Every structure is written in C-alpha cells, then in structure tokens.
C-alpha cells in the first residue's frame, strides 16, 4: 500500500514475455547444396558432443572421417544436396537395423543422430 492507502501504479510493459528462442536452422536452409569442403569445414567446427553418451566427444578427425565414410566421393561427388543427405540418413537407419553386433548398431545410431542434429534434419526424412 502507498502512503495514502492506494496501490502504487506499476507499469506492466516491463513484465512482457520474452520472444520464444529461434529454432535452429537446417543446414540446407542457407544453401540447397554444399561443396564437400564446405560440408567438412562446417562439421569440423560443429559441436563435438556425441548424442546418447554422458560427455562423449567426437574429435575433429573423427568428424572429418565420418563425412568421408557416410558421404563417399564415389557416390556423392563434389556437392552434397539436402535430398542426398536425407536419403543417406534413411540408409543409415536401415544399416543400423541390419547391423550384426550391438557395438556396430550403437556406432551407426550415434553417427546418424549426430548428423541429424548438426544438419538440422531430425524428423524431416
């Protein structure tokens, strides 16, 4: 209560809600296809944390070799488009299902989830 029995006037505009955080952009919203070197550079500077592990990290070389393993030159040539990346993620899911051992399955799953997260394609293929 104020001095004279009235409530003080409070400006309500100070208490407006903050705008929702912007969603992470898809890797391919900037360009429809990326050169292999730019693709590698982008993943080289990406977050090294491995999904599904408690503090596991991919080294820079592991991330670079993942690009060469998942997107081989013989098949994808010099540029990687969004449709090719989606198709390759679907194929990784199939390989994960067909893998023989649990270690191989978990390796493929971690690679797929890492690429989904970094490329912004989770649930879009």
Task: State how many domains the chain has.
Answer: 1
Kindly state whether residue 125 falls inside one of the protein's structural domains: no
Kindly state whether residue 21 falls inside one of the protein's structural domains: no
Kindly state whether residue 18 falls inside one of the protein's structural domains: no
Kindly state whether residue 12 falls inside one of the protein's structural domains: no
Structure confidence at residue 55 (pLDDT): 84
- 58-71 confidence digits (pLDDT tens): 999 999 899 999 99
Within 13 Å of residue 95, how many CA atoms lie on the same side as its CB?
Answer: 16
- 82-123 confidence digits (pLDDT tens): 999 999 999 999 999 999 999 999 999 999 999 998 888 887
Kindly state whether residue 54 falls inside one of the protein's structural domains: yes
**Residues spanned by the domain of 85:** 33-119
């Amino acid at each position: 209560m104020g001095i004279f029995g009235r409530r003080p006037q409070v400006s309500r505009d100070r208490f407006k809600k903050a705008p929702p955080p912007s969603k992470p952009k898809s890797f391919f919203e900037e360009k429809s296809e990326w050169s292999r070197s730019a693709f590698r550079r982008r993943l080289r500077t990406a977050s090294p944390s491995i999904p599904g592990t408690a503090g596991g990290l991919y080294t820079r070389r592991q991330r670079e070799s993942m690009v060469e393993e998942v997107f081989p030159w013989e098949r994808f040539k010099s540029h990687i488009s969004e449709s090719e990346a989606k198709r390759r993620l679907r194929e990784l899911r199939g390989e994960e299902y067909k893998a023989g051992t649990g270690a191989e399955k978990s390796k493929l799953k971690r690679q797929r989830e890492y690429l989904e997260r970094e490329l912004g394609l989770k649930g879009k293929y």
